[in-house]
Amino acid sequence: MQMKVFEPLQIKTMKIPNRLGLSSLLNNPVGEDGGPDATTIEWFEARARGGVGLVLCGAVQPIAPPPGMTMWRRISLALYDDQYIPGFQKIADAVHKHGSVFGVQIAGGGPMTGSGPSLPPYPDQLHATMTVTDALGAPSFPIREYSVADIEFSENAFAATALRAKKAGADCVEIHCTHGGASFLCSFLSPYYNKRTDKYGGSWENRLRASVETIAKVRQAVGKDFPVLIRFCGDQLIGEKGITVADTMKYIVPAFDEAGVDAFDVSQGDNIRSVEGISIPMYIPRGAFIYVAEAAKKVTKKPVFGVGRIVEIEMAERFLQEGKADLIFMSRQFTSDPETFKKFLAGKNDEIRKCVGCLMGCGRPCPLNYDIQDAPVKMTPAKKSKKVLVVGGGVGGMEAARIATLRGHKVSLWEKEPELGGMVSALAKTKLTSEFQNFLDYLGIQMRKLKVDVRVCKEATIPEVEVLKPDVIINATGSSMVIPEIAKGVPGVMDHIEACKNQRAIGQRVVIWGLVAAELAISLAEAGKDVIMIGRGGEETLARDYPGSRRWYVLRKLLDINTVRELTPQKKVSNPQVRFFTDVESITPGVLHLVDGQGAKSDVPFDTFIISRERACNNGVYEMLKGKAPEVFNIGDSNKVGDIKEAVWAANEVARKI
Ligand SMILES: Cc1cc2nc3c(=O)[nH]c(=O)nc-3n(C[C@H](O)[C@H](O)[C@H](O)COP(=O)(O)O)c2cc1C
């Protein structure tokens, strides 16, 4: 049977060559003048080259940002003036070269950027009970209420921008009416933000008015045959206070259908209140949000697009076959591997580098994809094939081995443990972060397919290295957790990595020292252990370096902060328990003697005491091997303790130059 993903989709004048799309992602490069530059064009061309049918650009600005809003200048392309048309024309040409179609999403306004349909406080007293969440993106500036003149001005700006997109050769435009407080139109739609009493507030008809008027004006600007799409919020993920799936079916889709849109791109979430529907963390099952597209499909005959952590073409195909959507966006997936579709077509499914949903950049600093950034070191065949020894088989070491082999070097990789993966394999064994296994699978398969000479349980010693006589040594021996003096040799003490790798040895009563280990703590609690986290810092240090919505999820679970939505059970849990400003005074067998910031002491019995604090570079091997080959490099954690991205990128920077 012919797969559905291969079928073209005709929407008025636009023929999408297949059923896969790149939805708008505000991660495309922006030129100095706010419009596209050569890097932007190459960025979009790379997506089209990979075979995705519909390429949408990140939300463009229809209105010049007010002075001071420099953030938008950096991440959102400007199309509020005709001067930007030639740049967009170049993107359209570049995308068309590969047979894909190009669309421009138009967005603007909303409480997140300082203007809303009505003023806070919103139903759950947005700021009243918040503490750390303010740091997570809630608007901190006064919100201005749209006047009727402002509404008209915005609607006209959408229409003028749509016409510019059409003139630039775009195949469609998409009106952004989603993500709650992130959007002018969605915030008008949402009963959560819209408390107006004029013709733009109150009833559904009134709240829909700004969107319906915008659709009409855009239609008038671009003509009847030009495809006009709308991305709307099918579920604001804040329960009855916001837009619900029932509203989608009863009010939103019928109104937009009648207003004359040509296709529905259904997403979910609210950038201020439920960001996990937009920047979807790895904790949320793949494809979990397809229900919103499915709901829309029940009430319209027009094409419906589905989105949300879909990383496998097989899943896209299944949703298409089941009639849940007519096109599937796999957006971050085309960031972590722009060649996804091509590899699938070539029967190289196992070589696809699947997005892990880590949110550690989502775009140009994608930790898995070094090439996504603006100025990567180019991949060129090596001038001379060298004998390369990579010491350490974590992700940095494997990536270095992969790149060096692809360039024509002869690579051996030695790992002292029985398995590859290093610290990332520990993360992959933690329930909440198990998606990291995707990356390990990818690199492991690459090692096999590229025939890298991989040796596990093999330590690098000087005699062995002297026998091999490498021209280049790349040391990637990672880092180790530092065990504080007070815990050294104590029965039941494990470091974080050891604990992940040897979970069967973890007892029932677990204390974790270090507030960064929130994902491990939650995973162990969900596995039935009684977990207490302790740390010397306050709330701001809990999961401190976690990216965006991963932190949001964890904080909501562990702290008593104001929240309105239970997507997965996210009411504060009592297990794990978190104790701030807490230090270990002494340890006796099976008991921790703790002291808090006020000097209050407590004894906490434990079976397992997990240490997750500082890490130290394992640079001993590098020091030993320095001078043992003409070129010796030290990359990743063994050079400087950092994150996955730093290890993978350092591997590329070295392996592309040797
Ligand atoms: C960094 C980032 C930027 C985004 N920018 C936009 C945007 O400009 N407009 C929009 O409608 N959605 C935006 N989204 C949402 C994505 O289009 C998409 O719905 C989301 O990433 C989920 O799909 P995925 O799991 O396939 O990536 C953004 C998401 C991320 C992570």
Q: Which atom of ligand 1 is nearest to the CA of 363?
A: 1
Residue 533, beta-bridge partner list: 512, 578
How far is ligand 1, taken at its centre, from the CA of residue 24, in Å?
Answer: 6
Ligand 1 atom closest to Cα of 231? 11
pLDDT tens, 343-380?
999 999 999 999 999 999 886 689 999 998 878 999 99
Average pLDDT over residues 104-110: 92
What pLDDT is recorded for position 134? 44
Residue 53 has pLDDT above 90, yes or no: yes
Whether residue 357 has its Cβ less than 6 Å from ligand 1: no
With cut-offs at 50, 70 and 90, classify the pLDDT of residue 292. Answer: very high
Q: Residue 25 C-alpha to ligand 1 middle, in angstroms?
A: 5
Q: Which atom of ligand 1 is nearest the CA belonging to 332?
A: 27
- Say how many Å lie between the CA of residue 345 and the centre of ligand 1: 25
59 Cβ below 6 A of ligand 1: yes
Q: Is the CB of 115 under 6 A from ligand 1?
A: no
Q: What is the pLDDT of residue 571?
A: 58
What the block records as the tokens of 382 is: 């090596």
Instruction: Please tell me the predicted confidence (pLDDT) of residue 319.
Output: 98
Q: Whose CA is nearest to atom 2 of ligand 1?
A: 25
Q: What is the 3-state secondary structure (H, E, C) of 292-351?
A: HHHHHHCCCCCCEEECCCCCCHHHHHHHHHCCCCCEEECHHHHHHCCCHHHHHHCCCHHH
Q: Amino acid identity of 33?
A: D
Average pLDDT over residues 640-651: 96
Whether the predicted pLDDT of 13 surpasses 70: yes
Query: pLDDT by residue (tens digit) across 563-617?
Result: 433 333 345 678 999 999 999 999 999 999 999 989 999 999 999 999 999 999 9
* C-alpha to C-alpha distance for 622 and 420, rounded to whole angstroms: 19
Nearest CA to ligand 1 atom 23: 308
State if residue 23 touches ligand 1 by the CB under 6 angstroms criterion.
yes
How many A from CA of 362 to the centre of ligand 1? 9
pLDDT one-digit tens code per residue, 114-126? 788 998 777 754 4
Nearest residue (by CA) to ligand 1, atom 11, is 24
Checking if the pLDDT of 111 tops 90, the result is no
Closest residue by Cα to residue 381 from 648, 656, 46: 656
pLDDT the model gives residue 569: 37
pLDDT of 539:
84
- Can you give the pLDDT at residue 109? 83
pLDDT of residue 563: 43
Residue 630 CA to ligand 1 center (angstroms) comes to 46
Ligand 1 pocket: which of 22, 23, 358 to mutate (most atoms within 8 A of CB): 23
Share of the chain above pLDDT 70, in %: 93
Longest dimension (CA), the chain: 83
- Using the 8-state DSSP alphabet, how is residue 532 labeled? E
Burial of 513 (0-12, 13-18, 19+ CB in 10 A): buried
Is the pLDDT at 233 greater than 90? The verdict is yes
Q: Work out which ligand 1 atom sits closest to the CA atom of 329.
A: 26
Determine the average pLDDT of the residues in 230-237.
Answer: 96
- Is the distance from the beta carbon of residue 310 to the nearest atom of ligand 1 less than 6 Å? yes
H-run or E-run covering 579 = strand 577-579
In the prediction, which pLDDT does 385 show?
A: 98
What separation in Å is there between the alpha carbon of 586 and the centre of ligand 1? 48
Q: What is the mean pLDDT of the chain?
A: 92
- Helix (H) or strand (E) holding 57, with range, is strand 54-60
- Residue identified by tokens 């952590």 is 309
Query: Ligand 1 mean position to 601 CA, how many Å?
Result: 47
The reported pLDDT for the residue numbered 358 is 95
Question: Do 633 and 621 contact (CB within 8 A), yes or no?
Answer: no
More reliable by pLDDT, 549 or 253: 253
**Predicted confidence (pLDDT) at residue 39 exceeds the cutoff of 50:** yes
CA of 280 to the centre of ligand 1 (A): 9
Two structure tokens written together for 420: 């590859």
What is the tens place of the pLDDT at every residue in 527-538?
999 999 999 998
Is residue 115 within 8 Å of 144, Cβ to Cβ?
yes
Whether 273 has a pLDDT exceeding 90, the answer reads no
Closest C-alpha residue for ligand 1 atom 28: 25
Task: Check if the beta carbon of residue 251 is closer than 8 Å to that of residue 208.
Answer: yes
State mean pLDDT over 405-423: 97
pLDDT in tens, 185-210: 999 999 999 999 999 999 999 999 99
Closest of 381, 363, 438 to residue 47, by C-alpha: 363
Mean pLDDT, range 215-234, rounded to an integer? 98
Question: How many Cα atoms occupy the beta-carbon half-sphere of 229 within 13 Å?
Answer: 31
- Across 393-475, the runs of DSSP E, i.e. the strands, are 410-414, 453-455, 472-475
pLDDT band at 493 (very low <50, low <70, confident <90, very high): very high
CA of 56 relative to ligand 1 center, distance in Å: 11
Q: Which is nearest to 533 in space by CA: 570, 585, 577, 590?
A: 577
Contact 111, 139 (CB under 8 A): yes
Question: Is 80 exceeded by the pLDDT of residue 562?
Answer: no
Nearest-atom number in ligand 1 for the CA of 359 is 31
Is residue 279 lining ligand 1, measured as CB closer than 6 Å? yes
- Angle made by CA atoms 470, 474, 475, in degrees to the nearest 5: 120
CB atoms within 10 A of CB 240: 12
pLDDT bin (cut points 50, 70, 90) of residue 271 is confident
Query: What's the gap in Å between 563 CA and the centre of ligand 1?
Result: 22
Mean pLDDT of 152-164: 98
| Ligand 1 binding pocket includes 372 (Cβ within 6 Å) | no
